[in-house]
Structure 1
Amino acid sequence: MDWERLAEDLRSHVERLARTPRTPETPAHQEAAQYIREQLQKAGFLVREEPFDEAGFEGTNLITQPIPDRSDLPLLIVGAHYDTKPATPGADDNASGVAAL
């Protein structure tokens, strides 16, 4: 494993996601979702959207599906949220978690 390359990739993802707040229902939030979707697809995952409505808040989860030709790999479930509160870049809440995905 190239740990230096991994660290560079993680830093790059955090910097990309933390440029601006990713407040729900804003263009920056939609751009973040698109960036995440593209990165997951580049890694070979199938990605689908799952809309939700919780207590009047509407959002969309990005769900990955197992890589079809790698059924030999164990199932691992991980998660991170990609939205932020208004006026916060969200590097630690939770761009760093999203970058790790």
Structure 2
Amino acid sequence: MPTRDDLNEIVLKAYECSSTNKAKSCGELRNLADPLMDNPLPSAVCKDLVWELLQSAKTSKINSLERRDSIDIPARKISNACLKKTKAINSPRGNQPRIKT
């Protein structure tokens, strides 16, 4: 699973790609995000967002609002979608004393 730092790096690179519209930053974003597609652990939602980033992270003649949004919106969502969710196990029986019979 990707770490929070890995995801933050992807998000920051996505913002850089969307704002600068430079081949270097967009290529770096694709290089950072691509390994998540081959990793079996991230959820389908995570991979859908990564796919959106990979498709959108390309330079354009005009850095339109639509282009920037197509990168920024999935980047904003990726941290929550791709972090491993830990579930608290609340077992009421686990806290009860055992009774000998």
Instruction: Flag the structure with higher helix content.
Output: 2
Instruction: Flag the structure with higher strand content.
Output: 1
Length-normalised TM-score, structure 1? 0.38
Length-normalised TM-score, structure 2? 0.38
